[in-house]
A and B are shown apart, each in its own frame.
Chain A
Amino acid sequence: MPVNKEILDEIALSQAEYDMIVDRLDREPNPVELGMFGALWSEHCGYKHSRPLLGLLPSRSDRTLSQAGAENAGAIDIGNGLAVVFKVESHNHPSAVEPLQGAATGVGGIVRDILAMGARPIALLNSLRFGPPDTAANRRLLKGVVDGIGWYGNCIGVPDVAGEIYFDHCYSQNPLVNAMCVGIARIEDLASAAADRTGDVLLLAGAGTGRDGIHGASGLASRTFEEEQELRPTVQVGNPFLEKSLIEACLEALATGRVRALQDLGAAGLTSAAVESAARGGRGIALDISQVHRRESGMTGYEVMLSESQERMLLAAAPEHVPAIREVFDKWDIPCHPVGAVTDEPYALVTDGAEPIASAPVSHLTDAPRYRLNGQPSAESVERQRLRLRDVPLPADAGAVLLQLMAAPNIASRQGVYRQYDHQVQTNTVVAPGAGDAAVLRIKGTGQAIAVAIDGNGRQCFLDPYRGAQMVVAEVTRNLSCVGAEPLALTDCLNFGNPERPEIYHQLEQSIRGMARACRALGVPVVSGNASLYNESQGTAIYPTPIVGGLGLLEDARRHCGSGFPEEGLTVVLLGASQLTARASDLAGSEYLNTMHGMVRGRPRIDLALERRVQSFCRSLISDGLARSAHDCSDGGLAVALAECCILGDGRIGGAGSVGFVASDEMSRNIPARWDAALFGEAASRIVISVDAADVHRIIAAAETAGVPATISGRTVGNSLRIDGLIDLPVEELAGAWYGGLNNALQ
């Protein structure tokens, strides 16, 4: 087959990669084969640039039940014979082209990854990035993405329990839509995606195959992104109603014990599902695409093999079990047809009826080339790290700064978004979105609960990818600790620009190294993940944005904590800082610098050993019932954290609501001249807790023993937030700014 650059560009393969294919096959590939190679060797499926680096991340602990990459998602033993399965995945480019369908199918796709593990999906999370909301285009993207997540998630009955949204110019052309799903299964019921038994029948269940999404993996997910208009047909269209029935039918089929292997059809559709299942099982496959049920006529073999039509699953089962499995799908009115078989010889053979249309060794298809490049920080990136406090003018009024930050699009309450998502269905949600630093879901039939959170901080990773990525891991585990959960494991989605550029490769490598260091220091493995590279347009990349999802465990679901101050008369203690400092590094990449001074500068720092002690101490206070609330200092620093604790108040349904705060004399006295850095700096490893006054001295003493700095910041009283000489604002006014901020920005 004669190829040219145009054809290779279409499937995102280089000439060298094409030559490698010819070499391996010892002949030219035909168009179907070339399409299959293109999809499986895409960055999205083949992890050409990321896999060598992903090996740096710790992937095991005594609770891991699967190895990262070996199955569709990571599985963690939470005790009582139960496994929690979870993974985060990107759907960035489809969402940029068609935000509603792109985001919706992102949710659908990650749900099927969890389903493929034999787990029931019990929670969704998402992490979103957009350009500033001051342009109609960015607002349209946000609205479309939120509508898509809500539409799909609400319809399938999986609660959307946590998430984050940030705005920055770098995401204007490249919004990020990362979706995470969490599932639960009995350990012995976990399914495998390995088609490992010769003679098993391959059954394709779910939606008819259509022309939607062809080249999603190679075209959308693996290239930079210039001509969006042309790409619309490559976006998939979702049917959440069918997905809901597909979930039930697959779980019911698995419960019969007759399904040998289960695999979702995601990126690269049938090609990837069939070939990767065979590769996992060390077997081959024979597919007859004339048996694939379709939603449109006249499709070519190429189109059938590469379609990314949604809501499809591939099952492998012994021939004698096929009728019983099909009966289950019949009950749910879901088409389920034999499309091939598992073969002994590790070969992928595709026919259309009797006519062969593709044939290649499985290992040739799945062993994508791997590239290890040389990263090089750009000159500007070094310059950006320089930040001196004297270059930052001190504002006149701390109260005005606080009000402005509370209303800033990156800090304001997300209530307007999460109340559009059903976050309660399945009746497990103990700590709902907005009420705590992580969501808490009880596990029915046990006294336990899990906590889940998702975090990223592109700005700090942009300033220092190594330290920034450490801070992301620290923050997500800190959020779990703030609700009282012990962090068990992480999942990551690596959103970066074009790795073929040295400065981007540098960001990728350093971020992964930073994550790996923090994971080791904090004792959590990364058990699943996804890489989304090539997030750039017109040569401008997004900030390096590793997004990390965390899973934590509470042995006693009742021993959890919310963020808000639950009542008046409590003492407020700051963990992690013995005094309020004013260092330039505290302001590095802060929202204060961004919002008030339009600066993205500095070099963040974190002490991981301190971080670990602070988190562990916070958890022990919660499990001992001593902490009445816990909230970490992140965006906007200590002052914003205190304001949020006041606004959230007792958090009870129909409860009294907000509570005031007055700083102690000691805190007010010790605020340095650069109060901006002290109050709004984002130094890591700090948690604001409230405790009963009677317990304070015991807690301070225990903190000292644990090597955790702890200082009394003030007490909860009245209905305003007061730091003498600097801030005196009614909580109602702060709440107005915070709750209204995002809505006002979107008008």
Chain B
Amino acid sequence: MRFGILVFPGTWSDTDCHHAVSGVLGQEADYIWHKEDSVDGYDAIIVPGGFSYGDYLRAGAIARFSPVMGAVRDFAAQGGLVIGICNGFQILCEAGLLPGALRRNGHLEYRCQWTHLRTERADTPFTNRCGAGQSLAVPVSHGEGNYYADASTIAQLEEQGRILFRYCEPDGTVTPDANPNGSVDNIAGIINEGRNVLGMMPHPERSCEALLGSDDGNLIFGSMIDAGANRAGAGRPGAHH
């Protein structure tokens, strides 16, 4: 499995993601500079966290115009796996690959803390190693992670089973107290209609080793590896470019 990890000026989770998928999970991984206009040859793209372009204007608002995001859009359209983490989620929303927006945290403070995520469904390329309803310990670190979409979009997401993760108590119960940022319906991560693009505020790459407190993040990257292996027979996306 070959991961491509986008790097914008201001990105800082790129090396953490590299360590997780390569150092911990033993996969191939390369960095892809934001000025590149192709992501050919990769099985999955990670849009990592950070403050791309300083997050001036609005988190993710400038990164969406970078050459590499055009390539990621094509890659996703062909069914390639894309995971946007934290600032990467914000970028995917700004780029129109996922609906909704991430507003400033309800309490107006940056928040770095452990959270638990209820896995709402296990039949996606990002959760096939999880059990439905499984609670994962994954930390958040953001000032603008308060997911918002209008009522009809939320209803549609719900109906189509696209809310993948919700903030919950360690036992999996979804409560207002478990929500670190005030997001609608405790939403922590959503997928696109094609189920090949995930955006999530928590950082799975920070929970891939028991030494750091949790290795639940491996379930998410591991699921992607399994899904990639299953797709391998069908040919890599972008291979016909």
Q: Which residues of A contact B (CB under 8 A)?
A: 150, 154-157, 239-242, 244-245, 331-333, 418-430, 432, 442, 444, 557-558, 652-654
Question: Is B148 an interface residue, CB under 8 A from the partner?
Answer: no
Min CB gap A608→B, angstroms: 34
Chain A nearest CB from B49 CB (Å) reads 8
**Apart from A424-B206, A425-B16, A427-B19, 5 more pairs, CB < 8 Å:** A244-B12, A245-B10, A420-B109, A420-B112, A427-B206
Q: Are A426 and B116 in contact (CB under 8 A)?
A: no
Is there a chain A Cβ closer than 8 Å to B73's Cβ? Answer: no
* Contact across chains for A425 and B54 when beta carbons are under 8 A apart: no
Contact assessment for A421 and B9 in the assembled complex, using a CB-CB cutoff below 8 Å = no
The answer to whether the Cβ of B212 comes within 8 Å of any Cβ in the partner chain is yes
Residues of A contacting B139 with CB < 8 Å?
424
Q: Which of A241, A242, A427, A653 has the most CB of B within 10 A?
A: A427
* Inter-subunit contact A425/B13 (CB<8 Å): yes
In Å, the complex CA distance between A241 and B51 comes to 7
Q: Is the CB of B112 within 8 A of A241?
A: no
Distance between Cα atoms of A652 and B56 in the complex (Å): 36
Majority secondary structure of chain B interface residues (helix, strand, loop or mixed):
mixed
B20 touches A (CB below 8 Å): yes
Contacts of A429 in B (CB 8 A): 212
What's the tally of chain B residues with a CB closer than 8 Å to chain A?
A: 39
Q: Are A653's CB and B23's CB within 8 A?
A: no
Our pick among A157, A239, A420, A558 for the contact of B50 (Cβ within 8 Å) is: A157
Name A655's closest neighbour in chain B (CB-CB): B170
**Distance A24 CA – B206 CA, assembled complex (angstroms):** 58
**A-B residue pairs in contact (CB < 8 Å), sample of 12:** A154-B51, A155-B54, A333-B9, A421-B112, A425-B12, A426-B12, A426-B15, A426-B16, A427-B20, A427-B209, A654-B114, A654-B137
- A residues near B112, Cβ cutoff 8 Å: 154, 418-424
Is B141 within 8 A of A422, CB to CB?
A: yes
Alpha-carbon distance between A654 and B51 when the two chains are bound, in angstroms: 29
Which secondary structure characterizes the binding site on chain A?
loop
Q: Taking CB as reference atom, which chain A residue is nearest B114?
A: A653
The reply on B213 being an interface residue by CB < 8 A is yes
B238 at the interface (CB under 8 A from A): no
- Shortest C-beta distance, A739 to chain B (Å), equals 13
Complex-state Cα separation, A245 to B16, whole angstroms = 17
A313 to B23, CA, bound (A): 32
Partner among B33, B50, B56, B137 whose Cβ is within 8 Å of the Cβ of A653: B137
Q: Cβ of A424: which chain B residues have Cβ within 8 Å of it?
A: 112, 139, 141, 203, 206, 212
List of A residues within 8 angstroms of B51 by Cβ: 154-155, 240-241, 244
The winner among B13, B19, B141, B203 for most chain A CB atoms within 10 A is: B141
Neighbour of B211 across the interface among A156, A419, A430, A652, CB < 8 A: A430
CB of B111 closer than 8 Å to a CB of A:
yes
With an 8 A cutoff between CB atoms, is B124 at the interface? no
At the interface, yes or no: B214 with Cβ under 8 Å from chain A? yes
> Which of chain B's residues have a CB closer than 8 A to the CB of A241?
9-10, 51, 53-56
Residues of B within 8 A of A653 (CB): 114, 137, 213-214
A524 smallest CB distance to B (angstroms)? 27
Closest Cβ neighbor of B9 among chain A residues? A245
In the bound assembly, the distance between CA atoms of A431 and B53 in angstroms comes to 31
Docked pose: A244 CA to B7 CA in angstroms: 12
Contact, CB under 8 Å: A654 / B116 = yes
Q: Which of A156, A432, A558 contacts B12 (CB 8 A)?
A: A156
Contact yes or no, B212 A332, CB < 8 A: no
Q: With an 8 A cutoff between CB atoms, is B143 at the interface?
A: yes
Question: B141 to A425, Cβ gap below 8 A?
Answer: yes
Complex alpha-carbon distance, A656 and B33, angstroms: 44
Measured CB to CB, the closest approach of chain B to A652, in angstroms, equals 8
The winner among B109, B111, B209, B214 for most chain A CB atoms within 10 A is B109
Question: Which of A242, A419, A558 is the most central at the interface, judged by chain B CB atoms within 10 Å of its CB?
Answer: A419
Cβ of B120 within 8 Å of any chain A Cβ, yes or no, is: no
* Residues in A whose Cβ lies below 8 Å from that of B19: 427, 444
| B205 adjacent to chain A (CB < 8 Å) | yes
> Which chain A residue has the least Cβ–Cβ distance from B205?
A427
- In the complex with contacts A150-B110, A430-B211, A654-B170 CB distance below 8 A: yes
Q: Does B113 contact A (CB under 8 A)?
A: yes
Chain B residue with Cβ nearest A150: B110
Question: Cα distance A157–B23 when bound, in Å?
Answer: 20
The chain A residue with its CB closest to the CB of B208 is A427
CA distance A241 to B56 in the complex (A): 9
Residues of A contacting B205 in the complex (Cβ-Cβ under 8 angstroms):
427
Residues of chain A contacted by B15 (CB below 8 angstroms): 426
Q: Are B9 and A419 touching (Cβ within 8 A)?
A: no
| Residue among B10, B13, B113, B116 having the largest count of chain A Cβ atoms under 10 Å | B10
**How far is it, in angstroms, between the C-alpha of A343 and the C-alpha of B13 when the chains are bound?**
42
Enumerate the 4 nearest inter-chain pairs by beta-carbon distance, A residue then B residue, closest first. A157-B12, A241-B54, A654-B170, A422-B141
Q: How far apart sit A332 and B9, CA to CA, in the bound complex (Å)?
A: 7
Which chain B residue shows the least CB distance to A420? B110
CA distance A332 to B116 in the complex (A): 37
Tell me which residues across on chain B come within 8 A of A654, comparing CB atoms: 114, 116, 135, 137, 170
A615 to chain B, nearest CB (A): 24
Interface residues in B125-173 by Cβ distance below 8 A to A read 135, 137, 139, 141, 143, 170
Q: Which residue of A lies closest to B12 (CB)?
A: A157
A429–B141 Cα gap in the complex (Å)?
14
Q: Is the Cβ of A430 less than 8 Å from the Cβ of B212?
A: yes
Question: B51's closest neighbor in chain A, by CB?
Answer: A155
Residues of B within 8 A of A421 (CB): 110, 112
A290 vs B113: C-alpha distance when bound (angstroms): 49
A157 to B206, CA, bound (A): 13
In Å, the complex CA distance between A155 and B11 comes to 9
A419-B111 contact in complex given A157-B12, A442-B211, C-beta closer than 8 Å: yes
Q: Please measure, in the bound complex, the distance between the C-alpha atom of A429 and the C-alpha atom of B212, giving whole angstroms.
A: 6
Q: Cβ of A156: which chain B residues have Cβ within 8 Å of it? A: 12
Please give the distance in Å from A213's CB to the nearest CB on chain B.
20
B contact residues around A150 at 8 Å (CB): 110
In the bound complex, CA of A745 to CA of B132 (Å): 44
Task: Choose from B10, B20, B214 the contact partner of A155 (Cβ within 8 Å).
Answer: B10
Give chain B nearest CB distance to A121 CB in angstroms: 11
A-side contacts of B203, CB under 8 Å: 424
